[in-house]
Structures are given as structure tokens and as C-alpha cells.
Chain A
Amino acid sequence: MSLSDSQFMRYSRHLLMDDIGEQGQQRLLNAHVLIVGMGGLGCPVSLYLAAAGLGGLTLCDGDTVDQSNLQRQILYTPEDYGKPKALCAQQRLLALNPDIEVNIFTEELSPATLAPSYDLVVDCTDNLATRQQLNAYCFAQKIPFVSASALGWEGQLVAFDFAASGNLCLNCIIDKESAEPLLNCSNSGVVGPVLGVMGSLQATTAIRILVGYFKQHGRVQRYDGKSGQWLTLNAKANPQCDICGVR
């Protein structure tokens, strides 16, 4: 399959890059990505992936748009108050790029969400239980998993390519039995563009994996927007891990 004239124009800035080119763009157009959580991270992730020509996006979020979301959730407007986030996002993303397919689930993550097959999952949720559910799903399906979170001035990203590497997963780094900390975005706040930084990094990482340049399985990136500092940490597989350990 080759690109249409309109696709040649739309994606010309990818096509100009030797290490993406027509072949890389075709990989993006053929890929279907699941984005779970359409809040502060899901908005930039989905905007960039839709613009980049990810052929299929599935958005999952059970929430409706609230006035307090608009400080950081850049897909939504006051006209969206009370409407499902996934539905509003689908309309915006298709307006941005009618060339792609956007499916939605307007409820929390459920077996129905995970029934179709995906090429990659982006975790934009706000709780460990859902993150761990997605980690286990991606490990079992042997598909890449790009997870991020943010709070206050800080963000964290970790990605796994389970198609290429069989051990080391999110549960090796943060035990799934861990309690939730007291602080979250609802009770302690978050700087909007910090979510933009981390969401852009998630979208970049997803594109990097799909085009074929990912070698950082399980590496943790941390950003502190207050000091402007970045930290990169390595992690080791836990042989006793419930998800990826040897049993």
C-alpha cells in the first residue's frame, strides 16, 4: 500500500526524515494504539498521535468534562461540560485528522476495552491499579506499553517493549500491592504544561517504538519542572515478579 497525494502533503515533515520516511509513516498509519485515560496526559498524547497519522486510536475514559479540567486538559472547551471526555476528544481528533480511525469507550477500563487487538498501549491513567492491569495485559499480549504520570511540578515516564524483551515490567519497579500515596492531582494540584511535557514524551516514545528505534525497555525518566532537572534511572527485573517473573 502506498500513500495518497493528500497523505504525502500531510505527513511531508515525516517523509523528509530519512529515518522515518514513507516506510515509517506507513507503519504509523497501519498501527492501532489504545490510550487509557483522556485527562491531562491523554489530551497531548492523542493530539500528537492523531496529527502524526496513527491510523487507529482507541480512547478509553469513563469521566465527563468538568470546569476544573480545562487548566490542563487541552482538548476540551466550556461547551463540553458534562459530556464524556472520550466522545469530545474523538470529535476534536477527527476534526484535526479525518484520515484516521478513532474508536471510544466512555466507561472505565473493562474486558471489553481490551478485547480488540492493539499494537501499543499508552497509559495516561491516575491510579496504580489500572496501570498494573495494563502492564499485565501488555506483557501477556507481548505488545509495547508506554506509561506516564504527573503530580505537582513532576512527571515520570517508563516504557516497555514486551515484543522484544520478556522480563522487567512495571510491577518489578512499583509493586502492584503498594498502597496509593495520599497526594494525587485532585487534592494536590498539577502544573498543566508538566502534563504536556510528559504527554509529548509518551507520544514521542510511542512513535519511536512503532517506527523501530526503541532500546530503553524499563528505563525510568523523571522530570522536575520546578528545578528544571531530569533524571534517568535503570531498573532490574525481579525474578519473583508476579507478572514477568520465572514461575
Chain B
Amino acid sequence: MPLSCSIKPAASPATGLLGLNMIKLLFFGRLGDFAEGVAPNIEARADLTPAKIRDLLAADHPALFAELSQPQVLISLNQMIVGWEQPVFDGAELAFLPPVTGG
């Protein structure tokens, strides 16, 4: 499924390393089930935050957007837990983790 024009899928570099101006996206656990067709890398640009990336996914991936809008979703930027308004820089790995509440 094509992504909205504001998020461009990035070609995977042959080296396996992220190119410049790219952000790697990871949807952990059951979020992965809702993220089929989402490009693994997106183009970085100014003022990008996890909240803005979520909003950019809304049009083409409404079910994923709904899951990301649940309370207690965790976000990690390069393995550090951050908030929805954290600036996301070039070359970063951004992971979204669904809430896990049972016992």
C-alpha cells in the first residue's frame, strides 16, 4: 500500500545501515500486526516528533493510528523512552510499543 506523500519509503541501502536523512521505524509486538505495509524507514525532516509521525500514518493506516492512540503506548528513541513531543533526528531508530497491562 503506498504511503501518503508526506512519508516517503526509503530504499534500503545495500550496507544495511541507515542513510542520512532517514528514521527507522519499529512497531513492537502486536503493533506489528497493524503496521503491515508501513515503510520501515521514513525520510527525516525538520520538526518531526513521534506525535507527528503517528498523525502522518493516520490516513493510510487507520487501524495502526487507532492502536497508537491508546493510552500507555511507550515510545523509544534509540532505546531511550521518550514522550510524544520529543524531536526525532536523522538516523534515529524510533520504536512504538503497545501497552501491556495484565497480570
Interface, chain A (partner B; CB < 8 A): 37, 39-42, 123-128, 148-156, 173-174, 178-186, 190, 195, 220, 222, 224, 226-227, 229, 231-236
Is there contact, CB below 8 Å, between B102 and A149?
A: yes
Distance, CA A156 to CA B97, complexed state (A):
10
Question: Please, which residues of chain A bring their CB within 8 A of the CB of B76?
Answer: 231, 233
Which residue of the partner chain, among B74, B81, B101, contacts A151 with CB atoms under 8 Å? B101
B100 within 8 A of A: yes
Q: Is the CB of B101 within 8 A of A235?
A: no
24 contacts across the A-B interface (CB closer than 8 A): A37-B103, A125-B103, A149-B100, A150-B100, A150-B102, A151-B99, A151-B101, A153-B29, A156-B100, A174-B72, A178-B72, A180-B101, A181-B70, A181-B71, A181-B101, A183-B70, A183-B99, A184-B101, A185-B103, A186-B102, A190-B102, A224-B28, A231-B97, A235-B81
Closest to A36 in B: B103
Q: How far is the CB of A205 from chain B (nearest CB, A)?
A: 15
Q: Are A233 and B103 in contact (CB under 8 A)?
A: no
A186 to B101, CA, bound (A): 11
Partner of A126, one of B28, B99, B102: B102
CB of B52 within 8 Å of the partner chain: no
User: Shortest CB–CB separation between residue A9 and chain B, in angstroms?
Assistant: 34
B8 within 8 A of A: no
User: With the chains together, A129 CA to B99 CA distance in Å?
Assistant: 15
Known: A128-B72, A149-B101, A151-B100. A233 touches B29 (CB 8 A): no
A178 and B71 contacting across the interface, CB-CB below 8 Å: yes
Given the known interface contacts A233-B80, A235-B80, A236-B81, the answer about A128 and B101 at a Cβ–Cβ threshold of 8 Å is: yes
Interface string of B79-95 (1 = CB under 8 A from A): 11100000000000001
**B62 at the A interface (CB under 8 A):** no
The chain B residues found within 8 Å of chain A, CB to CB, are: 28-30, 32, 70-72, 74, 76, 79-81, 95, 97-103
Contact B81 A127 (CB under 8 A): no
Q: Which residues of B contact A41 (CB under 8 A)?
A: 103
| In contact, A226 and B79 (Cβ under 8 angstroms) | no
Q: Which residue of B lies closest to A157 (CB)?
A: B100
Across-interface contacts of A222 in B (CB, < 8 A): 28-29, 97, 100
Known: A154-B29, A220-B74, A231-B97. A184 touches B79 (CB 8 A): no
- A residues less than 8 Å from B72 (CB atoms): 128, 174, 178-181
Q: Closest residue of chain A to B30, judged by CB?
A: A152
Query: CA of A142 to CA of B103 in the docked complex: distance in angstroms?
Result: 24
Contact yes or no, B74 A183, CB < 8 A: no
- Asked if residues B103 and A40 are in contact (CB atoms below 8 Å), the reply is yes
